[in-house]
Structures are given as structure tokens and as C-alpha cells.
Amino acid sequence: MTIPSFHLFVQTLILGGLVGGVYALMASGLTLIFGVMRVINVAHGAFLILGAYITYELFQYFKIDPIASILITMPVFFGAGWLIQRYMLSRIANPEQTSVLVTFALALVLEGILGFIFQTTARMVTPSYTSDAFIFATYRFPVTRLIGFGTALLIILLLYLILQYTNLGRAIRATTQDPRAAQLMGINTSMISAFTFALGLSTAAAGGSLLSIIYSFNPSSQADWIARTLSIIVLGGMGSIPGALIAALTLGVMEQMTSIVVTLYWSPIVFYFFLFFTLIIRPQGLLGEIIREKG
Amino acid sequence: MNSKIWKLVIGIALLSLLITACGSAATPQAPTAPATTAPVVTEAPSATSEPPIKVGASLPLTGNFSAPGTAAQKGYQLWADMVNKSGGLLGRQVEFVIYDNASNPDTAVADYERLITQDKVDLVVGPFSSKLVIPTSEVAAKYGYAFPEPAGGAPNVFNRGLTNIFFAQPAPSVDQAIPFAKYVLSLPADSRPKTFAVITGDDPFSVSVVESVQKLLTDGGLTMVLKEVYPADTKDFSSLAAKVADKNPDLIIGGTQFEDSVGQIKAYQQAGYQPRGAMFTTGPSLPKEFSEALGTATEGVFAPISWFEASTIKTNPEFVKAYHDKYGSEPIAEDSANAFTVGQVLQQAVENIQSVDNAKLIEEMHKATFTTVVGPLSFDALGQPKGSFMVLQWQGGKIVIVGPDYAKQADPIWPKPQW
């Protein structure tokens, strides 16, 4: 145990907060999909890694900046998400129970294919600004994390605006609250589901691009990331995007702070302890609503 | 009806995809086909009637150790080529069977079981790094196989009562960085560092190297301001780097393989930490990968090294020439040389006793002195080599030997430039 100096304490808060923003983006798609469809997309982590690999390849061969490549990966993932929902998930008889199996299978298939193509060597995208840091009042903001944080918040904000202020968003929220009632009001809920899944996957594309400049990754990293993002949405409250944001920032700060005060070994332990503790007191998560089973 | 058929089709498609996916992920890489890898001497006159001598190895060709693992594979393959071109071993061709263990100790153990019991190889050679050598050497010992290996020098390699291990580098890992520690302590008082930090991955090799440096430096009057052992698969070094930057030690000692040496340095750059000296156990010794990953940030970084390309020690010039003929002009990694050394030890032991009987080989390897690219090599009863390492430093984008005096190519730069 070491008590950090004030400067180190603030610096750690900054690092944790920056990384938490990126976690939030990664988790937002997962929580959105769950909110509308009651489907836990276990393949979310695998799609993050797929996004990271596409970003890596675009950077290696076409020198496309990892942030710019979000403009390519997001539409591609949107399309893929639409197809997966329309032709795979929507055909499952009892999605709330069996979709976990299907998406788990999807995760394993993706990991297998990525492993076959890219092997298990750890990769990282290293644009010229990788080692730069922006300095403000002696505190350092690593450029990659600052960009990651900014981009993540921008996309989450866009997502929030779509959900709050567009007709489409209203339809999505209505479907979240009560699919049957929404259907009776003339909302094409199956289209809404496909759109939501596609939207959720496209945030995974952006998350993957940001991941690729901050962390090294290989195909099996998907398991770490699905564990992390699932914990975030459980803590934040399943289906709540603001909840995911708060939980992600909490996780980010806790991880970094624990490694400063104790060691890196303790980071996951402390977070999971906090998660269990929260769930005992507040089973629905920080901002979640209690879901009533509808007859 | 229709939808049921669809479900069935999708189900079967998914299942078959799953099976193939799992299959490709779990099965080790197919053994390198001897026909394609062996040189064009298939009509070696004396070798036609005799079956080849099969040598087995499992290497980390993917995963955390893939950079050094791939380098080791090149060394092994080159040795086999050179032996085969000069008429083979005991008049028989040498054929390698190599599996990829993805840096996973469990896979490596299964691979050696398979090499010995199913592929029935005549000889085995070791994988890369102590973490994999420790469990796999037990397999070799169980079947009575000699286990010369290129990269397992941690104390735990030698303290398990095994007699079949032969570590083909000049010194065990606890002794590898002694020349560097001596160099630091030899600096004049006004430029000698006063504080240092030890940041090491939780790996038997790295920990043993840095802890012996730690002891020598502390005994020499330096103060250790921070010591951190991080999990081997750590990807995010930012908080560690912030902690190091906060203490701002004069000297940083990193216990690293390859990925984490790059991860640490990048995080130090972001954290604005500029030490006056830096040493990493493995990573800087990889001439190509290290500079590709870090560019100019390599300048002034130190590492212990067992071998260097320009060395004129007996057999080394031949090795260097053959390497470049086969693999091109890229600089040679130390790990390739270490793997080649394993081949040399094995070859000379086999020729000395004119047999591939493993029991006799083990006996011979304990007795003889071998001519290798890292110098004359002999082993004590535990298989520890009895020599010394050198100190390398990155200067002008290249590896340069800066000590000890007998191998020196240039004077060390101290303090190091900013990274």
C-alpha cells in the first residue's frame, strides 16, 4: 500500500477518467441492444476486436488514420448488424433466453476466424502521435487517450440525441418500454430491433478503433473486453446509457487508482468487489429500472 | 415449416463453423514439411538409404513470445540446413518437426509429449524462455531425452534436480545483467545514478535477472525508490508509468520480454518520464522488432546480450553469412543465434559419441566443451553454462556492444538522450 502524492492522485484520476470514456463507448452499444431487445450480445467483445483489426489493416496498408477509419468501420458494422439481426437473431424462437447461446457462438466463430487470419500475436495501431501527451498545469493527457475520450463522448452524445429527439429514437424508447404497446401504436418493432442492433454494433466498430490505439490486442482479447463491458452495463443498470457512462468512468478510475495504491494485480479484484457490493444494495444497478416480467 | 428448415440450416452452418473455428484455434500448426524446408540436397549420396534424424521442438511462433520464438525457429532451421548441406549428421539428414505453442505452457507440454510419443523424434530441443522451458523440460526428462535449450535461464530451470537440461547461452539469467550493474557502479560519482526503480513482468526469467541487478545496485549504494511486479499479460502501463514518473528515478530497470518493453517505454513517453539510464532484459536485443515498434525512442537503451553479429568468435562468421544468404540482410536476432548454438551443441555431442542415444548424449554434454557462436560452452552438473554476458546499447538506431572490454565496439552513452 502506498499513499499517492496529490499530484499523482490527480494524474491517476485523469488517466482513469480518459480511459473510462472509451469504456463507456464500448459498453453503450451493448446496453442499448439489451434495452430494446432484451438480448445480451455476447459477441460484442469479438466485434470490438474485429473493429480493432480492421483499423489496424487500414492503417498498415492504406495509412488511414485510426480515428478517420471510424467513418469506414461504423457503416460496415451497421450493415453487418442489420443482417445479423434480420437473418439470425430475429429467427430465434425465444430470443430472451436463447440469444445468449447464439451470440456466444458468434463470438467463438469470430475469435476462431480472427485467430486463423491474424494468429495470436499482439497488435497495436501506432500513429505518429502515439507517444505524445498534452500538458495542462503539469498534468499529462496522453494524446491517444484524449482523442479516444473525445471521440467516445461525441458518439455517445450523438446516440443520446438520436434517442431523445428523433422520431426514430422515440420509437426505440417506446419499444424498450413495452414492445407490444409500441407495436399497437403502429411502430414496426422488428425494424426497430434491426436498427438498434445495427446501431449497437456500429458503436462497437468505433470502440474497436479507439481500442486499437490505446491497447494492444489479439483475438483472445475479446474475452477480456466482453467481461469488462458486461460488468459496466450491469453496474450502470442494464439498458441505461447514462448508467453505462457513470459505471465506465467508475471502472476506469478504480482500475488506475488501485494499481497506484496497491498493484496492478488488484485492479480487477477491487472492481468486482465494488460491483457485487453495489448489486447487493441496488440489484437493478446504478441507473437501471427494475424489469417486471410481462405476462 | 419453412422457418424450421431455415433454423436447421443455420444451426448446422453455425455448428460446422464452430467446429472448424475451434479446430483451427486449438490444433498446433502443422509440422513444417521436411520436403519444402530441406535444401535441394535430397540426393545426398550417402543419406539415401538411412532414415533422417528427426529433431522435435515446440516454439512460441504466435502470442506474447512470438518475436523471439520466430527468431529461434530461424536459428534451428538454419542449423539443420547447414548440417544437411555438409553431408548430414552421422551421414543422415536432419529433419525438424516444429509445432506452434502460441506461448502457452500447457500447449508446449502437450506438443513435447506428442513429439516424443507419436512423432517419435530422435532428439528434442527447447522452446523460448524459462516459462515454457520449465514445464517442457520435465516431459523430456520423463522420457530420458536430453534437453538443450536456447532461452531458459531462470533459477527455477536449474533447481528441480533435472540433469537433462543444457542452457545454450553464456550464463544463467541471474548472472546475465551483472556486467551492466558493474558498468553503472563504475560511473564517476558525479554522473552515477542515485536512485532506481525496478518494473518487471511476473515471469521467472525477467524477475531473476532484475533482482540480481537490484541486489548489486543496492549493495553499491544506490537507492531503490520503487519496485513493481505486474501480471504477465498487462496491456495498460499508463498508471505504472505515472507512478514511476512521480518518483522520477535516475535509472529504470525493466524486467521484460518484448511486448512489455515496448508498452513500458511508450507509457513512459506519455508520462513524460525521462530517466538518465534504462535497461530492459529482453526486447532491446531484438534488432528489427524493437526499432520498428519504437523508432528513435530506442536511443541509449541498454540490455544484456549473449551474442552479437560482428563477433569473430570461431564459427560465428560462417553462421552470420549463411543466415543472410537464407533470410536476407535484416540484422540477426540474438535468439536465432542462441537456437543455432543449441544445434551446434547437439551436433558436436552426437558426433563425439557417434550415436543419438539420449542417455549417452546427456553424459557427453556434461563432460565436453563445445565450439559455438557464443564462444566455448561447457555446462555444470545442473546444466548451467559457465560464461559471461555482454552489455548492448542502442546507438544511432543500431545495437552496439559497449562492454565488457574484450567485446566492446563503442563507448557507452551516458546519460541517455530523451525518448
* pTM of the entire predicted model: 0.81
Structure confidence at residue B28 (pLDDT): 43
Is it the case that residue B42 has pLDDT exceeding 80? no
- Asked whether residue B140 is assigned to any structural domain, the reply reads yes
Query: What tens digit of pLDDT does each residue of A179-212 get?
Result: 889 989 999 988 998 999 999 999 999 999 999 9
Would you tell me how many other CB atoms lie within 10 Å of the CB of residue B153?
Answer: 30
Partners of residue B63 in chain A, C-beta under 8 Å? 120-122, 218
Q: Which of residues A236 and B24 earns the better pLDDT score?
A: A236
Asked if B337 and B325 sit in the same domain, the reply is: yes
CA dist list (Å): A61 to A216, A229, B398? 18, 30, 26
Q: Cβ distance B59 to B98 under 8 Å?
A: yes
B9 close contact with A: CB closer than 8 A: no
CATH of the domain at B357: 3.40.50.2300
Which residues in chain A (14-53) have CB-CB distances under 8 A to chain B?
Answer: 15-16, 19
Asked if omega into B404 is within 30° of 0 (cis), the reply is yes
d(CA B62, CA B65): 7
* A88, A105, A130 ranked by CB distance to B18: nearest: A105
Would you tell me how many other CB atoms lie within 10 Å of the CB of residue B293?
Answer: 22
d(CA B154, CA A91): 56
**Which range has the worst mean pLDDT, A101-105, B10-14, B119-123, B275-279?**
B10-14
Q: Which of B134, B139, B93, B138 is nearest to B114 (CA)?
A: B139
Distance from CA of B391 to the nearest CA of A (A): 27
As a whole-number percent, the residues of chain B with pLDDT over 70 amount to 88
B63 close contact with A: CB closer than 8 A: yes
Asked if B183 and B211 sit in the same domain, the reply is: yes
Strand-pair partners of B53: B94
* B22, B243, B271 ranked by CB distance to A140: nearest: B271
* B230, B238, B259 ranked by CB distance to A15: nearest: B238
Cross-chain Cβ contact A132/B234 below 8 Å: no
Distance from CA of A14 to the nearest CA of B (A): 10
Distance from CA of A265 to the nearest CA of B (A): 6
d(CA B395, CA B401): 10
Query: What tens digit of pLDDT does each residue of B79-107 get?
Result: 999 999 999 999 999 999 999 998 899 99
d(CA A194, CA B400): 59
- Reading the block at residue A270, the C-alpha cell is 477491487
Q: How confident is the model at residue B300 (pLDDT cuts 50, 70, 90)?
A: very high
Asked if B250 and B363 sit in the same domain, the reply is: no
Would you tell me how many other CB atoms lie within 10 Å of the CB of residue B345?
Answer: 28
- Asked whether residue B40 is assigned to any structural domain, the reply reads yes
Partners of residue A133 in chain B, C-beta under 8 Å? 269-272
**Distance of alpha carbon A184 from its chain centroid, rounded?**
32
Is it the case that residue B47 has pLDDT exceeding 60? no
Contact pairs from chain A to chain B, CB under 8 Å: 116
Cross-chain Cβ contact B62/A215 below 8 Å: no
Structure confidence at residue A39 (pLDDT): 87
Would you tell me how many other CB atoms lie within 10 Å of the CB of residue B406?
Answer: 8
Strand-pair partners of B391: B304, B403
Cross-chain Cβ contact A112/B25 below 8 Å: yes
> Which residues, other chains included, contact B75 with Cβ-Cβ below 8 Å and sequence gap of 6+?
B150, B335, B336, B337, B338, B339, B340, B341, B342, B343
- Reading the block at residue B301, the C-alpha cell is 537503451
Q: Which of residues B248 and A290 earns the better pLDDT score?
A: B248
Distance from CA of A226 to the nearest CA of B (A): 16
* B61, B259, B270 ranked by CB distance to A216: nearest: B259
For cell 559457465, the residue is B386
d(CA B310, CA B418): 28
- Asked whether residue B397 is assigned to any structural domain, the reply reads yes
Asked if B268 and B231 sit in the same domain, the reply is: yes
Can you spell out the DSSP letters for A234-289?
HHH-TT-HHHHHHHHHHHHHHHHHHHHHS-GGGHHHHHHHHHHHHHHH-TT-SS--
d(CA B266, CA B273): 10
First to last CA, chain B: 67
- Asked whether residue B12 is assigned to any structural domain, the reply reads no
Partners of residue B266 in chain A, C-beta under 8 Å? 130-131
Asked if B121 and B191 sit in the same domain, the reply is: no
Asked if B61 and B43 sit in the same domain, the reply is: yes
Query: What tens digit of pLDDT does each residue of B131-186 get?
Result: 999 999 999 999 999 999 999 888 889 999 999 999 999 999 888 999 999 999 99
Distance from CA of A60 to the nearest CA of B (A): 13
Asked if omega into A142 is within 30° of 0 (cis), the reply is no
Q: Cβ distance B214 to B242 under 8 Å?
A: no
- Angle of CA points B3, B8, B12, to nearest 5°: 150
| Nearest residue of chain A to residue B239 (CA atoms) | A256
Cross-chain Cβ contact A121/B66 below 8 Å: yes
ipTM over 0.95: no
Partners of residue B200 in chain A, C-beta under 8 Å? none
The alpha carbon torsion through B213, B218, B220, B225 (nearest 10 deg) reads: 100
* B62, B230, B269 ranked by CB distance to A119: nearest: B62
Strand-pair partners of B387: none
With 0-12 / 13-18 / 19 or more C-beta atoms within 10 angstroms meaning exposed / middle / buried, residue B255 is buried
Would you tell me how many other CB atoms lie within 10 Å of the CB of residue B118?
Answer: 8
* Full domain range(s) for residue B57: 34-172+312-367
Ranges under pLDDT 50 in chain A: 294-295
Q: Which of B280, B276, B198 is nearest to B240 (CA)?
A: B198
- Asked whether residue B385 is assigned to any structural domain, the reply reads no
Cross-chain Cβ contact B24/A120 below 8 Å: no
Query: What tens digit of pLDDT does each residue of B318-364 get?
Result: 999 999 999 999 889 999 999 999 999 999 999 999 999 999 999 99
Cross-chain Cβ contact A120/B263 below 8 Å: no
Distance from CA of B14 to the nearest CA of A (A): 8
Asked if B143 and B189 sit in the same domain, the reply is: no
Q: How confident is the model at residue B243 (pLDDT cuts 50, 70, 90)?
A: very high
Structure confidence at residue B4 (pLDDT): 54
Mutation site for A-interface testing, chosen from B16, B227, B246 by largest number of A Cβ within 10 Å: B246
Asked if B127 and B242 sit in the same domain, the reply is: no
Cross-chain Cβ contact B239/A91 below 8 Å: no
- Asked whether residue B415 is assigned to any structural domain, the reply reads no
One-letter amino acid of B215: K
Mutation site for B-interface testing, chosen from A264, A266, A267 by largest number of B Cβ within 10 Å: A264
| Nearest residue of chain A to residue B201 (CA atoms) | A264
DSSP at B40:
S
Partners of residue A257 in chain B, C-beta under 8 Å? 239
Distance from CA of A81 to the nearest CA of B (A): 17
Structure confidence at residue B142 (pLDDT): 95
Length of chain B: 419
Distance from CA of A218 to the nearest CA of B (A): 8
Asked if B302 and B340 sit in the same domain, the reply is: no
Q: How confident is the model at residue B11 (pLDDT cuts 50, 70, 90)?
A: low
B14 close contact with A: CB closer than 8 A: yes
Query: What tens digit of pLDDT does each residue of B173-223 get?
Result: 888 999 999 999 999 999 999 999 999 999 888 999 999 999 999 999 999
- Asked whether residue B419 is assigned to any structural domain, the reply reads no
Query: What tens digit of pLDDT does each residue of B166-175 get?
Result: 999 999 988 8
d(CA B25, CA B23): 5
> Which residues, other chains included, contact A173 with Cβ-Cβ below 8 Å and sequence gap of 6+?
A163
d(CA A226, CA A27): 9
* B22, B62, B242 ranked by CB distance to A108: nearest: B22
Number of domains in chain B: 2
d(CA B22, CA B37): 28
- Asked whether residue B22 is assigned to any structural domain, the reply reads no
Asked if B199 and B228 sit in the same domain, the reply is: yes
Backbone angles phi, psi at B229, to 5 degrees: -110, 120
d(CA B258, CA B64): 8
Would you tell me how many other CB atoms lie within 10 Å of the CB of residue A58?
Answer: 20
Can you spell out the DSSP letters for B108-125?
HHHHHHHHHHTS--SEE-
Asked if B316 and B293 sit in the same domain, the reply is: no
B186 close contact with A: CB closer than 8 A: no
- Reading the block at residue B146, the C-alpha cell is 536430453
Radius of gyration of chain B (CA): 23
Would you tell me how many other CB atoms lie within 10 Å of the CB of residue A91?
Answer: 14
With 0-12 / 13-18 / 19 or more C-beta atoms within 10 angstroms meaning exposed / middle / buried, residue A64 is middle
Asked if B156 and B79 sit in the same domain, the reply is: yes
Distance from CA of B285 to the nearest CA of A (A): 19
d(CA B292, CA B397): 10
Which residues in chain B (193-232) have CB-CB distances under 8 A to chain A?
Answer: 228-231
Q: Cβ distance B377 to B341 under 8 Å?
A: yes
**Full set of structural domains in chain A with CATH:** 6-281 (1.10.3470)
- Reading the block at residue A102, the C-alpha cell is 447464439
Structure confidence at residue B413 (pLDDT): 95
Cross-chain Cβ contact A263/B230 below 8 Å: yes
Q: How confident is the model at residue B33 (pLDDT cuts 50, 70, 90)?
A: very low
Q: Cβ distance B91 to B355 under 8 Å?
A: no
